[in-house]
Amino acid sequence: MPIDPQIAAMLDAMPEWPGVRHVPLDHLRQSVRDSSIGIPPAADAVVAAVRDAVIPGLGGDLPIRIYTPEGQGSFPVVVYMHGGGYVVGDLDTQDMIARALCAWSAAVVVSVDYRLAPEHKFPAGVEDSLAALRWVAEHAAAIGGDASRLALAGDSAGANLACAAALVARDEGGPAVRAVVNIYGSCNYPGTATPSAIAFADGPILRADDVAWFWEQYLEHPSQQDDPRASPLRAKSHAGLPPHFVGTAECDPSRDDAEDFARKLITAGVETHLQRYPGMVHGFASWVGFLPGARAVLQDAAAFLKTHFH
């Protein structure tokens, strides 16, 4: 299927992007932030309250943003990690995704401003994701949440962090996680020989060289690619993991790795909902305010969460 016509028109109106390798890091981060904060949220993704806080992390203070849904608690809690190749992004860049998950799953969403590479290499992002999960498990009641109903979620690199945190939580005996939402997270060091990596090596949006550059910033050494906290797909066993929702974009070089991860989960007996969204590109969930496909993936993810919370 060709790229979605609405996305194609958007891309045609955008200036040519040189690729992340050719953009200074500070400019890259500011460009992503400037382009993201202007994206409208879904009009019906209404939440009761949003507040920022700071919790303890291994690297010092860890900023979080707490979204509270309308209604009466206590609510389930979703710990959410934003995308951005482990290098860019913050609490504002995927605010629209956090709002939608909060409103549509009727859960408190705790968005995590984890440490970014290259200043903070692997496993800093995983450590911060786990710190947030453990903090939420201990302090859920204080934020209107129910510690017995916890989930992890993320998009792109943030989805990889969510899936890695679920692995560590399983291996360390908790906190117990009811469900994991993975929106176009590859969960694997980038493969270059998969059909999607070949077909979409030049994009749209995300190019194979962009993926390679992000991972060069993230890992201290390529040998770390086999650590399941970096590549959850490569874990020796996926048995005993919580149910996973895996939503992929058809026109995305990382699509096949994400779908291979879902199939690994299914083979291991993990309840898994895998859904590919036709004509979509990497990052499409951020356009939930106006793109039907983005609305679909977040509504599907929210419905999955609600099923496993109740």
Q: pLDDT tens, 73-122?
A: 899 999 999 999 999 999 999 999 999 999 999 999 999 999 999 999 99
Catalytic residue among 36, 111, 129, 156: 156
Catalytic residue among 128, 210, 252, 257: 252
Helix (H) or strand (E) holding 112: strand 108-112
Q: pLDDT tens, 233-259?
A: 999 999 999 999 999 999 999 999 999
Q: pLDDT tens, 180-223?
A: 999 999 999 998 899 999 999 999 999 999 999 999 999 999 99
Backbone region of residue 9 per phi and psi (left: phi > 0; alpha: psi in -120 to 50; beta: other values): alpha
The angle that helices 95-105 and 292-309 make with each other, rounded to 10 degrees, is 50
Catalytic residue among 238, 244, 282, 308: 282
pLDDT at 1: 61
Please answer whether residues 258 and 186 qualify as being in contact, where contact means their C-beta atoms are separated by less than 8 angstroms: yes
61 is known as an active-site residue? no
- The three-class DSSP label of residue 280 is strand
Q: Could you give phi then psi for residue 249, rounded to 5 degrees?
A: -100, 135
> Does 50 score more than 70 pLDDT?
yes
Please answer whether residues 217 and 111 qualify as being in contact, where contact means their C-beta atoms are separated by less than 8 angstroms: no
Quote the mean pLDDT of the chain: 97
> Does 2 score more than 90 pLDDT?
no
